[in-house]
Structure 1
């Protein structure tokens, strides 16, 4: 039997929390173990419950979602951070990813994206809603030539096998999917990922995936 995905949900609007919780409870594999109305309370709940995933609204009192994401990634790095917002401005996306978020969802998106995002992040993958992914790719494409050179230099530090793993991360595969595709055990993929993040000097899979994209590795996957 698959392990239940424990989730902490943080949003300062009670009705929004109720709606999100209602969607999450439709999936028997997801268990909402805590709810918070501000970022500070969310951090404390994550420390207490150590869930696989925390859903954070961008704008909250006391401590906003971006600040909470930074604290959570530092205190409980095993918890994946999914950002929730009604704002799709590039600055929020960039800052959320820089703070170590594993994914970014728009509240106005399809409820199925919410469930898919929770499962993906719990499985160690990254997740961007299609609308957000389009913005990220557009931003990267505007300056891809210069960024691509830097990314290729970073990727050149990796072994051939590590480059293969990075390419599949860029293609959006989880550790389990990468293991199956490369005929490896999942623990070996996790070990590769740890080395890759260290050598690339990035915080998480999303940032590694961006380098894979910019270096052209995804096209080779």
Structure 2
């Protein structure tokens, strides 16, 4: 039997907690192992109950979500963290991604995306809801005019994040530069690069560049 994904919820609104529990219980592979209405002792709670995923609000009493993530980053993440917040301020998103959170969703899109987010993060990838992805993508476009959003010609086997990374690789950005631009870790960049190479059956970086040119991700 496959181990269940153990989830801890942290939000100061009990109604939202109850709704999330009801939703998550519809997935057999999920188990809600605890919830918190403030951030004061979240590190100890998720360490004790063995949560794999913490779904965390930013606006929390006693210790807010950003303070919680800072504590996790300092002590070592006991589980992966998905932010679920009313805020979609890019500055806040950047800070939390740099600290090491694995996902960010706004509460407007949570209902239809939270299950996908949990599965994605459990598999070692980051997850951003559409509005957050667009904010991040737009900053890349502004920073680098050569960065071209893809059209219908791109094959569907690549995720949006993989398309962003393959484009930046083709534009000769280093792993460190890509991590800074997309607010993810260098290890995550390398994981995505390996996944891209495997999906495209590419032997080297030159193959990735050719793919990017062929599909008009960059100019030849």
Say which structure is richer in helix. 1
Matched, 1:144 2:144: yes
- Which residue of 2 is the match for residue 12 of structure 1? 12
2:192 to 156, 169, 172: 169
Q: TM-score, normalised by structure 2?
A: 0.68
- Which residue of 1 is the match for residue 42 of structure 2? 42
The verdict on how the C-alpha distance between 1:10 and 1:218 changes in structure 2, with shifts beyond 3 A counting, is farther
- Which residue of 2 is the match for residue 88 of structure 1? 88
Q: Which runs of 5+ in 1 are unaligned?
A: 157-162, 184-215
Q: Residues 101-128 of structure 1: CA distance to partner in whole angstroms, max 9, x if unpaired?
A: 1000111115231001111111211100
Aligned equivalents of 1:104 and 1:219: distance in 2? 28
- Which residue of 1 is the match for residue 79 of structure 2? 79
Q: Shift of residue 16 of structure 1? A: 1.2
The verdict on how the C-alpha distance between 1:155 and 1:122 changes in structure 2, with shifts beyond 3 A counting, is same
Q: Shift of residue 145 of structure 1? A: 5.8
Q: Shift of residue 167 of structure 1? A: 6.5
Q: TM-score, normalised by structure 1?
A: 0.68
Matched, 1:56 2:77: no
- Which residue of 2 is the match for residue 66 of structure 1? 66
The equivalences for 1:119-138 within 5 A come to 119-138=119-138
Aligned equivalents of 2:110 and 2:81: distance in 1? 19
Q: Which runs of 5+ in 2 are unaligned?
A: 148-167, 178-185, 202-208, 214-220
Q: How many residues align?
A: 178
Q: Shift of residue 79 of structure 1? A: 1.2
The verdict on how the C-alpha distance between 1:118 and 1:219 changes in structure 2, with shifts beyond 3 A counting, is farther
